């Protein structure tokens, strides 16, 4: 509704602008004690009344928009308060030995209930008939899934190596990367086929179906983590090394990547069981604590490796300690802190806070790794298009700008990972679309895009005209080369200035709002250019 009210504020916009233009054409209204012609006065009154009537829908929509805005803020505040309360909720500590037998009993009870459900399903005549009917398809699905799971990934590794061996030039790395994606796609397809085959039998109840689905999540997370580990730390020595500084720990980092995928899958299974059986707080604390400790161990090891690699570069007086490596050290320090803080929070009873601190961290690491891989893809594509070497392409500005754009585009993903709701992102997007005010000017994305498009077109036209002057017109005038260059430069500055002014006015930005800033800026420029002018 708020978005509808925002759009409704532009109701009768064209008519309102036309009425205001007509009023302006009549001239200013007479001041007190002055008179004007009866026809003009009557026309002014008529236009004023029409203007007031035309503005009613927009003003009504604006009032409704402000009311909806206030309600949305109240709802967001309430939801955030509830989320904070859940995070800070304290429960029983897993260090209490009395909780362990009950937790293990509850965990075993879940599987016992699962077996009871499956037995009850099998005792149903309808289920057995469905099973017999679907058995041929189920067997085919299971066989295909087994082949894809047991042999598919190995076959895709062989295919990737074959492509690398046969490819030459700059396309070799890109071809290998594309084929390496099938190392994830093929096993995941096998998992989905196996899941469909088992569910199609009709033998599993709510708990069984939930558990099988969670197992498929375990498999997917493991294969994805495996692929990410191999992309960051390839097995072949001649392959590009995205994280070259830590490559002496390549085998260990690959292992920890796979282990993180397994732990994420186990957490997914545990969450599924908790959702179905509604475990007590004590049972949740006991069952989650070993998982959080395992996360902490992996975080500690990865964090120490990331920090140690940067420290070695600095100790060796390596001049190539880049911004990325400094960021790598910050990530390592954060992981070491979380490795201690997360299990400690769970140990004292803040289980929700511990889960919130550690589980999204794994997803954030995965997104960071994918961004690093995407940067390599951008560099290779840029080198392939411009025919530059990998080193030259890596130092170019364009790939860096594209990668920076990808980082900005990933911010909503990080926000969702760390607990933001989709409605929160829609809220930010709505405010972004509404724009912001600079004086009397309203700056919005549409205004900015209009300005950018017009300015780029005029800038390109200026450059084209400069080229024509320099190569075709000015050489025939007899002006010395220095004068020709001065004219070309002057035309360029004039074209850029006019282009900016035309783009600003076309976008609908009121230049009078910037007049004070421009006046103050011109004074500063005047003082700065005294020596140049003299």
The CB-side HSE value for 61 (13 A sphere, CA atoms) comes to 18
**pTM of structure:** 0.73
Q: Cα angle at 368 between 365 and 374, to 5 degrees? A: 140
Q: What confidence score (pLDDT) does residue 3 get?
A: 81
* CA gap 243, 231 in Å, rounded: 10
Q: What confidence score (pLDDT) does residue 338 get?
A: 94
Give the CA radius of gyration of the chain.
33
Query: Are 435 and 509 contacting, i.e. CB atoms less than 8 angstroms apart?
Result: no
Per-residue pLDDT of the chain (534 residues; tens, 9 = 90+): 888 888 888 888 889 889 988 988 888 888 877 878 888 888 888 999 999 999 999 999 999 989 998 998 898 889 888 988 888 889 899 999 999 999 999 999 999 998 998 888 888 888 888 888 888 888 888 898 888 888 887 888 788 777 766 766 566 777 778 888 888 888 889 998 888 888 888 888 888 888 888 988 899 999 999 999 888 887 766 566 666 556 678 888 889 999 999 999 999 999 998 888 888 889 999 999 999 999 999 999 999 988 887 776 666 555 455 677 778 889 999 999 999 999 999 999 999 999 999 999 999 999 999 998 888 888 888 888 887 777 787 788 888 889 899 999 999 999 999 888 887 787 777 777 666 665 555 666 777 778 888 888 988 888 888 888 888 888 877 788 888 888 888 888 888 888 888 887 777 666 665 666 667 777 777 777 777 767
Please report, to the nearest 10 degrees, the dihedral formed by the alpha carbons of residues 279, 281, 287, 288 taken in order: 120
Measured in degrees and rounded to the nearest 5, phi and psi for residue 235 equal -75, -30
* CA gap 354, 366 in Å, rounded: 19
How buried is 236 (Cβ within 10 angstroms: 0-12 exposed, 13-18 middle, 19+ buried)? exposed
Q: What is the 3-state secondary structure (H, E, C) of 93-158?
A: CCCCCCHHHHHHHHHHHHHHHHHHHHHHHHCCHHHHHHHHHHHHHHHHHHHHHHHHHHHHHHHHHH
Query: Are 62 and 9 contacting, i.e. CB atoms less than 8 angstroms apart?
Result: yes
* CA gap 331, 126 in Å, rounded: 56
Q: What confidence score (pLDDT) does residue 313 get?
A: 62
DSSP lists the bridge partners of residue 441 as: 438
Which pair of structure tokens corresponds to residue 334?
């954060």
CB contact set of 197 (below 8 Å; sequence gap of 6+) = 137, 138, 141, 142, 145
Measured in degrees and rounded to the nearest 5, phi and psi for residue 436 equal -140, 160
Q: What confidence score (pLDDT) does residue 319 get?
A: 47
Which pair of structure tokens corresponds to residue 365?
């690491």
């Amino acid at each position: 509704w708020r978005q509808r009210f925002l759009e409704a504020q532009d109701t009768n916009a064209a008519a309102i602008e036309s009425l205001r233009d007509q009023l302006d054409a009549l001239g200013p209204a007479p001041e007190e004690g002055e008179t004007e012609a009866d026809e003009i006065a009557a026309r002014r009154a008529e236009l004023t009344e029409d203007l007031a009537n035309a503005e009613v829908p927009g003003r009504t929509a604006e009032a409704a928009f402000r009311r909806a805005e206030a309600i949305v803020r109240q709802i967001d505040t309430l939801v955030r308060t509830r989320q904070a309360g859940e995070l800070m909720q304290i429960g029983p500590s897993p260090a209490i030995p009395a909780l362990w037998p009950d937790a293990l009993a509850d965990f075993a009870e879940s599987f016992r209930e699962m077996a009871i459900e499956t037995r009850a399903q099998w005792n149903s005549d309808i289920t057995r008939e469905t099973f017999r009917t679907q058995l041929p398809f189920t067997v085919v699905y299971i066989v295909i899934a087994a082949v894809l799971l047991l042999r598919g990934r190995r076959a895709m590794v062989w295919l990737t190596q074959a492509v690398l061996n046969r490819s030459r030039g700059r396309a070799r790395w890109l071809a290998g990367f594309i084929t390496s994606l099938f190392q994830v796609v093929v096993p995941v397809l096998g998992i989905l086929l196996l899941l469909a085959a088992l569910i199609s039998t009709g033998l599993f109840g709510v708990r069984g179906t939930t558990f099988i689905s969670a197992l498929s999540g375990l498999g997917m997370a493991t294969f994805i983590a495996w692929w990410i580990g191999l992309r960051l730390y390839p097995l072949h020595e001649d392959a590009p090394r995205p994280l070259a500084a830590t490559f002496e720990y390549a085998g260990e980092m690959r292992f920890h990547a796979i282990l993180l995928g397994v732990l994420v899958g186990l957490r997914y299974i545990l969450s599924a069981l908790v959702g179905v059986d509604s475990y007590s707080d004590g049972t949740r604390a006991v069952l989650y604590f070993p998982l959080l400790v395992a996360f902490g161990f992996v975080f500690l090891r990865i964090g120490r490796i990331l920090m140690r690699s940067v420290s070695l570069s600095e100790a060796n007086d390596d001049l190539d300690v880049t911004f990325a490596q400094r960021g790598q050290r910050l990530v390592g320090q954060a992981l070491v802190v979380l490795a201690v803080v997360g299990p400690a929070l769970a140990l004292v009873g803040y289980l929700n806070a511990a889960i919130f601190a550690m589980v999204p961290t794994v997803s954030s690491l995965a997104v960071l790794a994918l961004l690093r891989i995407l940067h390599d893809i951008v560099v290779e594509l840029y080198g392939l298009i411009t025919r530059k070497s990998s080193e030259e392409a890596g130092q170019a500005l364009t790939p860096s700008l594209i990668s920076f754009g990808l980082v900005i585009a990933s911010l909503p993903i990080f926000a969702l990972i760390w607990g933001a709701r989709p409605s929160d992102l829609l809220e930010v997007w709505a405010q972004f679309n509404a724009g912001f005010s600079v004086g009397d000017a309203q700056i919005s994305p549409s205004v900015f895009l209009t300005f950018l498009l017009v300015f780029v077109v005029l800038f390109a036209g200026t450059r084209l005209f400069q080229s024509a002057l320099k190569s075709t017109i000015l050489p025939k005038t007899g002006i010395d080369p220095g004068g020709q260059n001065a004219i070309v430069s002057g035309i360029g500055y004039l074209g850029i200035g006019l282009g900016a002014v035309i783009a600003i006015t076309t976008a609908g930005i009121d230049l009078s709002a910037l007049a004070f800033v421009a006046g103050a800026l011109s004074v500063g420029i005047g003082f700065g250019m005294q020596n140049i002018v003299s």
